[in-house]
Amino acid sequence: MTNLRIPGPTPLPPQVLASLSKQVISHRGRGFEKIYQEIVTNLQYFYQTKNPIYLLTASGTAGLETAVVNFFSPGDSVIFFTCGEFGNRWAEIARRYGLNVNQIKFPEGTSVKKEIVQEILKKTKKLRAVFITHNETGTGVLNDLFAISPLVKSHPNKPLLLVDSVSALGGVNLPMDKLKIDVLVSASQKAWMSSPGISMIAVSKDARERQKNSKIPKYYFDLALYEKFAEKNQTPATPAVSVLFSLQAALALMKEEGREKVFKKHLELRDYFRAEIRKMGLKLVVADIEASPTVTSIWPPTGVDEALWRKLLREKHDVVIAGGMGGLKGKIVRVAHMGYFSKKDLDLVILALKKSLLEIKKI
Ligand SMILES: Cc1ncc(COP(=O)(O)O)c(C=O)c1O
């Protein structure tokens, strides 16, 4: 069986696979409403929030766009602290909607540094919001929201804090209410071990207040509509019912395990994998202190072409890993460890990495 180790879509547990073979149901019936309610309640447990969470039938990028179009107007001054391609993408969405974007870029492979955040915030006089990618999937870096959130929240303009945790939430501890995050976006195909197709977005009371004054035109992603339909545990348009079945099944498994255990597994297996990579003599892209619990980036050994390496892994060893993005395209490989995976899956990756490197030497 293929060992799928790209950072989404991730493999599905048997119970989730089984849920996908169920007959579809009416999205306006009582059966659906019960499922919707269960999904939102279980998501709130993992988001650690009492805020409403809306389910968009769309991928994570749509969740990021939804976060831009609902709470702002053209010309609003916002800061993006970015350290890779997904941060770049979100900043680009905001620019296209006419926001006044100040993008502070940190080098790829490093995290957003709190000292710089503090310095920038101090000299920013007009500020409506701060945007940050929790887990920069393009490089495998985790940003420390525990350190950054209090800095944002102490700014005199009371900016909103918007966070993309598409590739970490569900597997990593990010307590929305405790950290006073206003908008928190994730997507079903990552640590949630469900099919691709649903983006989840949680919205604070302050953000809902801002929503009333937003002048950006929108329809499908207008959260006012989602809010209205959520009262009936429904969505405004036809949702991806089967994907929601998968999310329901996955969340039930995750809830049964308990969030602390799920978070611990991701941290422990990250550390295990990194240690094994080092033992092989390979170099990691990211320092331990800011390493992502869900995706690990590795420099190929000198002289090894990353695309050739990945091709060999895929075609001969049935292990599928990702390449680099942005400035790291063609330079690194990335291995995901999120959602439905075990130490055994990682051991198989490690074995395949070792074997394939020996094979490359012989080519
Ligand atoms: C951090 C992050 N943000 C946004 C996205 C975009 O999500 P999607 O591909 O579901 O649109 C991804 C996808 O990998 C991601 O990792």
> Does the Cβ of 133 fall within 6 Å of ligand 1?
yes
Size of the chain in residues? 363
96 CB neighbour count, 10 Å cutoff: 11
pLDDT in tens, 170-194: 999 999 999 999 999 999 999 999 9
Compute CA 37 distance to the chain's CA centroid, rounded to the nearest angstrom: 22
Task: Write down the mean pLDDT value for the chain.
Answer: 98
> Does the Cβ of 8 fall within 6 Å of ligand 1?
yes
**Domains assigned to the chain:** 3-8+259-362 (3.90.1150.10), 14-256 (3.40.640.10)
pLDDT in tens, 84-126: 999 999 999 999 999 999 999 999 999 999 999 999 999 999 9
- Percent of the residues in the chain that have a pLDDT greater than 70, as a whole number: 100
Please state the rounded mean pLDDT for residues 36-55: 99
Please state the rounded mean pLDDT for residues 309-329: 98
pLDDT over threshold 80, residue 363: no
Confidence label for 320 from pLDDT (cuts 50, 70 and 90): very high
> Does the Cβ of 339 fall within 6 Å of ligand 1?
no
Cα of 335 vs centre of ligand 1, distance in Å, is 15
Query: Would you list which residues are annotated within the binding site for substrate?
Result: 334
d(CA 200, CA 223): 12
> Does the Cβ of 239 fall within 6 Å of ligand 1?
no
Q: Which residues fall within 8 angstroms of residue 60, CB to CB, at 6 or more apart?
A: 164, 166, 185, 186, 187, 190, 199
> Does the Cβ of 137 fall within 6 Å of ligand 1?
yes
pLDDT in tens, 255-299: 999 999 999 999 999 999 999 999 999 999 999 999 999 999 999
Cα of 86 vs centre of ligand 1, distance in Å, is 7
d(CA 282, CA 295): 16
Position 265 scores a pLDDT of 98
pLDDT in tens, 163-175: 999 999 999 999 9
Position 281 scores a pLDDT of 96
Contact 250, 192 (CB under 8 A): yes
Helix (H, G, I), strand (E, B), or coil: what is residue 186?
A: strand
